[in-house]
Chains A and B, each alone.
Chain A
């Protein structure tokens, strides 16, 4: 009797166990096919030389793909562009966001209105608004564009920011990137600032601390974890810049000389110069390594600071 009970209990337990996995099955399936397998596969691709997309065959393994990518002038241009974007936009957006958040935290009137406005770019389609930016900055036969008129008003001469010199294009690129990433940073920093116990400020006021000193001796250390978080995510995000570039300069970024590493990966995969998943894989892995290195360095700096 008890034997039968045992068996059925065991069976029930096993059944429950199966059922648990059933709940996980869809997630595991999706993640397995579209995340884990591709992750392994991308490394495999990157070592397969002369991979042919149509026949899915290759004729060797080795580091040739990497060497090809690293010697490709388009790739080097893309790396240069990406690094410029990262180095300019990450510090700039973080600093401006910090300034705006500090100002925001000091007002009560209109605060929630400003917060709502500042967040708007987050929910807009980058491609769509990028088009607006392009037109604002573009110089055509019909008009010099809004921005150039503004420059003229201050005594400068018109520049074509979209099809003009490299630095002009890079300027628009950085301005647009900053515009796009600001909402997130302002949101995070305002919330970090408001989580600082107001007693610290009262204490500092009673001690007659000057505003600047309150900022760098109290506020800054208190919100520094969030700033580091923003810098790290900012670096990662900026290294993956792509859609914003397409929005401003069109799909053929190589022709515009404004390609980024991610753009290079996609171009290798698809489009006019596409059909080379091996090169794309090698470039993607190089990008991943760069991002990983920078992130580790960032983390080490923030650890050392602590």
Chain B
């Protein structure tokens, strides 16, 4: 099921009585979520991603705009008429019901021609439980299950009615690090197997990148960028997106474009086609390459004061400082090489042009 948001806006009245301006949690969202994909709604906390989710499932009514599932406008429909499944951050499993009863619960609400017999219901519940691999825990109470198992029960309960859209609110935030890895693969598997359009909300960019077909980056209720994870990572449209995606974080510098060259401090480091101006420069940690001399094309290596070399085995982080850097440290990551020798007091880098982004000083938008 394709989900289309048309100029969707949600404003909340301000709680602060002295300052009664509205809080706009979702501001003019306008995008289409293609059928059968796994979409990550990504943004820092308070950016309006949970509000978006609640608008889609119908727990909240939008201030303006429309929500369309496939061909039908569901904007004013109550949640139960939309055919959505929702998994809550804290799972919201009914503590007094067993796993089986929890999964059966949505089915027992059906009435009229949709009403199922006991056998049909049981079969569906078993099927959903098998899908999330909890079919051996059916008669336990939620409090007897681990966090990961509770999560699966919640997903089974959301899936049992075969929703057209599955919504997950911070599905992994209550799990420990190891379970998180495991569960996110599990979510991907379930989504692939069922082919249900799935939207999940997270503040963890790594989580969103790793399993989403498409990520939607939000900030302060405003849609920043939508695209495939790699695309968004490689081609961020603005400074916020560039900084929000990627660990370690992108290194930000104050730079200057002059005569087709990008200067960091007084060093011309790269050729660029951008017009002359002061810019923010973002360099991904993997955008640094150890330099062994001048490149000879008018550019010079960036000489930084070496602070530390951190070895992780797989790769090496070089921590250094440079006056033009906006943060205290520059972090460069490169593949570990037995022959690589980095010794102080300074280290010289060449920059990979595809890993260097220029942003307008004022608007913070990317300069192509």
A210 near B88 (CB under 8 angstroms)? no
For residues 88 through 115 of chain B, which have their beta carbon under 8 Å from a beta carbon of chain A?
88, 90, 92, 94-97, 105-106, 108-111
Q: Do most interface residues of chain A lie in helix, strand or loop, or is the interface mixed?
A: helix
A208 near B96 (CB under 8 angstroms)? no
Q: Is B216 an interface position by the 8 A CB rule?
A: no
Within the complex, the shortest CB–CB distance from A265 to chain B, in Å, comes to 42
B105 near A208 (CB under 8 angstroms)? no
- CA distance in complex: A54, B1 (Å): 92
Q: Is A27 an interface position by the 8 A CB rule?
A: no
Within the complex, the shortest CB–CB distance from B158 to chain A, in Å, comes to 8
Q: Is A143 an interface position by the 8 A CB rule?
A: no
A200 near B81 (CB under 8 angstroms)? no
Q: Is B80 an interface position by the 8 A CB rule?
A: yes
Instruction: Point out which of A205, A208, A217, A218 has the most chain B C-beta atoms below 10 A from its C-beta.
Output: A208
* A202 in contact with B59 given A197-B90, A208-B79, A208-B80 (CB within 8 Å): yes
Contact of B109 among A197, A200, A213, A222 (CB under 8 A): A213
A197 near B92 (CB under 8 angstroms)? yes
Within the complex, the shortest CB–CB distance from B287 to chain A, in Å, comes to 43
B105 near A217 (CB under 8 angstroms)? yes
A205 near B106 (CB under 8 angstroms)? no
* A218 in contact with B94 given A207-B106, A209-B109 (CB within 8 Å): yes
Q: Is A199 an interface position by the 8 A CB rule?
A: yes
Contact of A200 among B86, B94, B106, B161 (CB under 8 A): B94
For residues 197 through 248 of chain A, which have their beta carbon under 8 Å from a beta carbon of chain B?
197, 199-200, 202-210, 213, 217-218, 221-222
- CA distance in complex: A208, B80 (Å): 4
Chain A residues near B97: list those with CB within 8 A.
217
Chain A residues near B157: list those with CB within 8 A.
203, 207
Chain B residues near A199: list those with CB within 8 A.
88, 90, 92
Q: Is B78 an interface position by the 8 A CB rule?
A: yes
B80 near A200 (CB under 8 angstroms)? no
* A206 in contact with B85 given A197-B90, A199-B90 (CB within 8 Å): yes
Bitwise, B281-318 to A at CB < 8 A (1) or not (0) is 00000000000000000000000000000000000000
- CA distance in complex: A264, B97 (Å): 48
Q: Is B330 an interface position by the 8 A CB rule?
A: no
* A200 in contact with B79 given A209-B109, A213-B109 (CB within 8 Å): no
* A203 in contact with B92 given A208-B106, A209-B109, A210-B109 (CB within 8 Å): yes
Q: Do most interface residues of chain B lie in helix, strand or loop, or is the interface mixed?
A: loop
Q: Is B57 an interface position by the 8 A CB rule?
A: yes
Chain A residues near B79: list those with CB within 8 A.
205-206, 208
Within the complex, the shortest CB–CB distance from B31 to chain A, in Å, comes to 23
For residues 151 through 185 of chain B, which have their beta carbon under 8 Å from a beta carbon of chain A?
157, 161
Q: Is B84 an interface position by the 8 A CB rule?
A: yes
* A207 in contact with B92 given A202-B86, A217-B105 (CB within 8 Å): no
Within the complex, the shortest CB–CB distance from A264 to chain B, in Å, comes to 43
A205 near B78 (CB under 8 angstroms)? yes
Within the complex, the shortest CB–CB distance from B100 to chain A, in Å, comes to 14
- CA distance in complex: A13, B78 (Å): 71
For residues 24 through 43 of chain A, which have their beta carbon under 8 Å from a beta carbon of chain B?
none
Chain B residues near A208: list those with CB within 8 A.
78-81, 106, 109-110
A207 near B96 (CB under 8 angstroms)? no
Chain B residues near A209: list those with CB within 8 A.
80, 105-106, 109
B80 near A205 (CB under 8 angstroms)? yes
Contact of B86 among A203, A210, A213, A218 (CB under 8 A): A203
B109 near A221 (CB under 8 angstroms)? no
- CA distance in complex: A155, B111 (Å): 44
Chain A residues near B58: list those with CB within 8 A.
206
Contact of B80 among A207, A221, A222 (CB under 8 A): A207
- CA distance in complex: A197, B142 (Å): 15
* A206 in contact with B109 given A197-B92, A199-B92, A200-B94 (CB within 8 Å): no
Chain B residues near A213: list those with CB within 8 A.
108-109
- CA distance in complex: A233, B90 (Å): 34
Within the complex, the shortest CB–CB distance from B101 to chain A, in Å, comes to 9
Chain A residues near B110: list those with CB within 8 A.
208
Nearest A-chain residue to B110, judged by Cβ: A208
For residues 237 through 275 of chain A, which have their beta carbon under 8 Å from a beta carbon of chain B?
none
* A205 in contact with B59 given A200-B92, A210-B109 (CB within 8 Å): yes
- CA distance in complex: A222, B92 (Å): 13
Chain A residues near B88: list those with CB within 8 A.
199, 202-203
Nearest B-chain residue to A203, judged by Cβ: B92
- CA distance in complex: A197, B110 (Å): 24
A221 near B106 (CB under 8 angstroms)? no
- CA distance in complex: A213, B80 (Å): 14
A206 near B81 (CB under 8 angstroms)? no
- CA distance in complex: A99, B80 (Å): 25
Within the complex, the shortest CB–CB distance from B60 to chain A, in Å, comes to 10
Within the complex, the shortest CB–CB distance from A222 to chain B, in Å, comes to 7
- CA distance in complex: A202, B53 (Å): 12
Chain A residues near B81: list those with CB within 8 A.
208
Chain A residues near B94: list those with CB within 8 A.
200, 217-218, 221
Within the complex, the shortest CB–CB distance from B97 to chain A, in Å, comes to 8
Having A205-B79, A208-B109, one finds 11 other A-B pairs with CB under 8 Å, namely A199-B90, A200-B94, A202-B59, A203-B157, A206-B79, A206-B80, A207-B105, A207-B106, A208-B80, A209-B106, A209-B109
Give me 28 A-to-B residue pairs in the complex whose CB atoms sit less than 8 angstroms apart, sorted by A's number: A197-B92, A199-B88, A200-B94, A202-B86, A203-B86, A203-B92, A203-B157, A204-B105, A205-B79, A206-B58, A206-B59, A206-B79, A206-B84, A206-B85, A207-B80, A207-B161, A208-B81, A208-B110, A209-B80, A209-B105, A209-B109, A213-B109, A217-B94, A217-B97, A218-B94, A221-B94, A221-B96, A222-B95
Which B residues are within 8 Å of any A CB, using their own CB?
A: 57-59, 78-81, 84-86, 88, 90, 92, 94-97, 105-106, 108-111, 157, 161
Give me the 8 closest cross-chain CB pairs, A-B, nearest first.
A208-B80, A207-B106, A199-B92, A221-B96, A203-B92, A206-B79, A206-B86, A209-B109
Which A residues are within 8 Å of any B CB, using their own CB?
A: 197, 199-200, 202-210, 213, 217-218, 221-222
